[in-house]
Amino acid sequence: MSGRAVVRLLAVLLALGMVVLGALNIVGSLGQDSKRVQHTYSGVRVVDLHVSAESVEVREGVGDRTRLDRSISWSMRTPTLVQRQVGDRLEITSHCPFSMGRGCSGHVLLVVPPGTEVHARSSAGSVRAAGLTGVVDLSSSAGSVSATGLRSADVTASSSAGSTKLAFATPPRQVDASSSAGSVEVVVPRGSDAYLVDAGSSAGSSTVAVRTDPASDRTIRAHSSAGSVQVRYPPR
C-alpha cells in the first residue's frame, strides 16, 4: 500500500470515528435524566457511604439528626441508588451501569451528628469532609480527598488518583494519609504535643515540620507514591 493510500485510509477511519462519537453524544443527550433525594434520619451513629460516580461532602452538624441531600444525572441507563438505615447504621450506595452515553455524575451532601463514625468512598469523584469528630475513613479511586477542621482522634484517608489533605483543629491520636498519584499533606495544631511520624515519598520530597517523639502514642503515617509529602503546623 502506497503512502498516499495509507493517508486516505487513516482519514476515512478518523472521519468514521468522529461520526460515531457524534452519534453517541446525540443519543446520550436524548437519554439524559436526573434525580434528587433528600431525607432526614435519627439515631445514626455509623455511616457507610460507597458511591460509584458522585462527589462526596460530609459535614458535622448539631443535634441528633442526619441530613442527606444527593443528586445524580445519567444518560441511557438508570443508576441504582440506595439509602437505608439499619439500626444505628446508615448505608448510602450507588451503582452506575455501563452505558454508551455520557455515564453518571452527581453529588452527595451528608450532615451528621457529633461523634458519628464516617466511612466514605467514591469510585469516580472527590471526597471532602469538615468538622468531623468521630472515627473517619475517607477514600477516592479517581479524585482528591480533603478534610478540614477535624477533631477526630482516628483518621484514615487515601486517594488512588489525586491529592490527600488533612487539617486538624485538635491533636489527633492516629492518622494514616496516603496517595498513589498525588501529594499528601497533614496539618496539626501548634502546641506541646509530639508525634511518632512515618513520612515518605517514592517520587517527591518529604518534609516533617512538627514536634516528634519516637515514644509518642500519637502517630502520623503520610506516604505518597508520586508526589510530595508534608507534615506540618498551620502558618502563623
Which fold, 32-125? Pectate Lyase C-like (2.160.20)
- 70 near 107, Cβ under 8 Å? yes
How many Cα atoms within 13 Å fall on the side-chain side of residue 225? 8
pTM value is 0.85
- Identify the band that residue 97 occupies on the pLDDT scale cut at 50, 70 and 90: confident
Q: Residue 32 has what pLDDT?
A: 87
The DSSP code for 136 is E
Q: Which residues contact 186 (CB under 8 A, 6 or more apart)?
A: 166, 168, 175, 177, 220, 222, 230, 231, 232
DSSP 36: E
Is 173 within 8 Å of 154 (Cβ atoms)? yes
Average pLDDT over residues 35-51: 97
Q: What are the residue boundaries of the structural domains of the chain, listed by start? A: 1-30, 32-125, 126-236
Provide the grid cell at 213: 517523639
Position 7 confidence tier, pLDDT thresholds 50, 70, 90: low
pLDDT surpassing 90 at residue 189: yes
Residue 4 dihedral angles phi and psi, to the nearest 5°: -65, -40
* Cα-Cα end-to-end distance for the chain: 69
> Residue 19: pLDDT above 70?
no
Residues 79 and 98: beta-carbon distance below 8 Å:
no
Predicted confidence (pLDDT) per residue in 142-186, tens digit = 999 999 999 999 999 999 999 999 999 999 999 999 999 999 999
Q: Please state the rounded mean pLDDT for residues 28-45.
A: 87
